[in-house]
A and B are shown apart, each in its own frame.
Chain A
Amino acid sequence: MKLSQDKYGELYLKMVQTRTFEETAARLFVEGKVHGTAHFCIGEEATGVGVCAALEKEDMIAQTHRGHNQAIGKGMDIKRMMAEFLGKETGYCKGKGGCMHIADFSVGSLGANGVVAGGIPVAAGAALSQQYFGRNNITVSFFGDGATNEGAFHETLNLASVWKLPVLFVCTNNLYGMSTHINKSMNIADISLRASSYGIKGLSVDGNDVLAVYEETLAAREEVLKHGPLFMVLNTYRWMGHSKSDSQVYRTKEEVAAWKEKCPIKRYREFLLKEKIFTPEQLEGYDRQAAADIQEAVDFANASPELSIERIFDDVYAQGDIREQKPKNGFVL
């Protein structure tokens, strides 16, 4: 498939933005500037970016706790993401949610989730609204390999299949649920087989090949709109530990090094140069733009105030009556 220059560029830029965002975030941790935690998707950039590039603006996503690639992919504002990471009022959740709960209803994000598999039923519910109101859109439910051992995964795939909901289930298989390798937590090597129990088609895709992810998602989106749910497993690898406190005693340095050789950004970059889609100078231009975007985000976040405790009750309950309210961007506001 031949893409437009803009699309090739978008895929590259968003992957580099994701990596730069996370490398910067990791550095802020080391410098002691962050209170809390974050889960990095370095090495998995092609998954969220590739999937979201194939979606329409009105399509929805439910992200995971390891979802900066998904968020940037769907078009979230990096400044407000960084502000949330640093706990500032200008962040997406006013500093109340942190990285694990970044959401942007205006771009169709139902929110990242701190609970493994927690977003799967919610995504199905959004798809129910899309189907019910005849919106020609889908919802993507992102989750990891570990989530496929949760009841929420099995219950929701079954329900979505029975109701033919327009939901695309996307499993980012990075081989580890925290420290536990999938060969210790499930007795199948190909997670996509699980779809067959629910009468859903399962696909297994190289998650480090951003073009494959993009193209498979484009096709899957059409199929989901016509026939209902589909389950796509994107096979990839988590370079960093589970969270900032992980010393990674459960895997070898050689294993990590071997996967780093399969870096999705490096691979895509080599493809773009080999096919002469971009010159090295053009790619460096994207690199510089990503670096500048992230620096701007850090500056924005650093300059932002923190929420005052006087406003802590503001969003516990919504006020008023839903009778006259109409959804905006598909969301009830």
Chain B
Amino acid sequence: MREITYAEAIKEAMCEEMRKDERIILLGEDVGVYGGAFGVSRGMFEEFGGRRVRDTPISELAITGCAVGAAMTGLLPIVEIMFSDFITLAMEQLINQGAKNRFQFGGQGCVPMVLRAPGGSGTGAAEQHSQSLEAWVSNAPGLKVVIPSTPYDAKGLLKSAIYDPNPVVFLEQKLLYRTKGPVPEPSEDYLIPLGKADVKREGKDASLITYGRMVPRCLKAAEVLAGQGIDVEVLDIRTLVPLDREAVIQSAKKTGRVAVVYEACQTGGFGAEIVGVIASSEAFFYLDAPIKRLGGLDVPIPYNPHLEAQVVPSEEEIIACVKSLL
């Protein structure tokens, strides 16, 4: 199978569906001729023109709210927020106007929009451009939340997100944009349903349950551990909302030893929710060790590269964490 990057996969998903469905538009800061801050939409302006690929003023609140209103009335907008940190500027429209829309109006309509935003640390972009804010948007009923870890998943999940009748927050990972992976040719269309986790590596001794950028890191750790005779399963939950509880519970029951790994600040992070699902299910009776939670330190992301690297879970820490379970 051919290999393309995570960024290319996202662009392919948008382009292929925009060719099929006139209702889909892309709007955001510098998504036009510039091609987006991370180059994801490069070439789209040339193909679809300014009517469908719309550069906006630097107004995250208005862009997001405009997408809500457009989605209510017939368009399928994809909003690119340049850094996921800037959803802080868009939260009122995303949560109060978007997420609650259908519920508060008694089910009259829906808001089929996607808000794409890259998150995560590791680029030296410091405190205001490096956060992992998935827990914030996972606590707002009405939103769906997706974090893909591979080009294949990114493409298939984004296509599902575009046609989902609900607002979907699609959190991309900056450090994965340039990573390559196998993706079928455009002629072989596929979708990945929201709400389905994926076992990225089968194992029997322990489970690493994770998402986003920590998936490749957990896979590397599992590789190292395999060399030491420890057979680790890596479960990529892919969609935080809706969460594939069954897959989480099954993996925990299967191995009896679980570490939940995520980059965001540990306290109140989404990993706590995964731990909660396991602890309050029948999987609890299968556990042979307390569930470990390995999140980022409870600090903002610092600029200095040595410091930055040490505030989120490292491969070594993941390995040590698994060993502590055995």
Contacts and interface: CB of A to CB of B under 8 A. Distances in A.
A158 B63 CA distance: 11
Contact of A155 (B57, B71, B103, B108): B57
Nearest to B75: A129
A316 B140 CA distance: 10
Contacts, number: 177
A65 B60 CA distance: 24
Contacts of B66: 121-122, 124-125, 128, 156, 159
A281 interface: no
Interface stretch (A7-15, A29-37, A93-101): A93-101
A219 interface: no
Contacts of B108: 92, 103-105, 331, 333
B276 interface: no
A94 B105 CA distance: 8
A126 B70 CA distance: 5
Interface in A96-122: 96-97, 101, 103-105, 110-111, 113-115, 118-122
B245 interface: no
A120 B110 contact: no
B73 A118 contact: no
Given A103-B108, A314-B107, A152 B72 contact: no
A120 B73 CA distance: 15
Contact of A121 (B65, B77, B102): B65
Contact of B62 (A159, A314, A332): A159
A332 B72 contact: yes
A152 B62 contact: yes
A96 B103 contact: yes
Nearest to A167: B69
A126 B69 CA distance: 5
B76 A322 contact: yes
A139 B166 CA distance: 23
Tell which of A151, A323, A330 has the most Cβ of chain B within 10 Å.
A323
Interface in B75-95: 75-77, 92-93
Nearest to B62: A155
B26 to A, nearest CB: 13
Contacts of A331: 72-74, 108-109
A162 B105 contact: no
A62 B141 CA distance: 23
A229 to B, nearest CB: 13
A321 interface: yes
A315 interface: yes
Given A105-B109, A132-B75, A321-B165, A121 B96 contact: no
A250 to B, nearest CB: 27
Interface string B115-155: 00000000000000000000000000110100000000000
A331 B164 CA distance: 16
Nearest to A329: B73
A156 B62 contact: yes
Contacts of B73: 60, 110, 125-126, 129-130, 327, 330-332
A121 B56 CA distance: 13
Interface centre among B71, B72, B73, B74 (most CB of A within 10 A): B73
Interface of A: 60, 62, 91-94, 96-97, 101, 103-105, 110-111, 113-115, 118-130, 132-133, 139, 151-152, 155-156, 158-159, 162-163, 314-323, 325, 327, 330-333
15 contacts: A115-B92, A120-B65, A121-B66, A122-B97, A125-B67, A129-B69, A152-B92, A155-B57, A156-B62, A159-B59, A317-B165, A318-B165, A319-B165, A322-B112, A327-B74
Given A91-B106, A111-B104, A127-B69, 11 more contacts: A103-B105, A105-B108, A111-B101, A111-B105, A118-B65, A118-B97, A121-B69, A124-B62, A129-B74, A158-B57, A332-B165
Interface of B: 21, 25, 51, 54, 56-57, 59, 61-77, 92-93, 96-97, 101-110, 112, 141-142, 144, 163-166
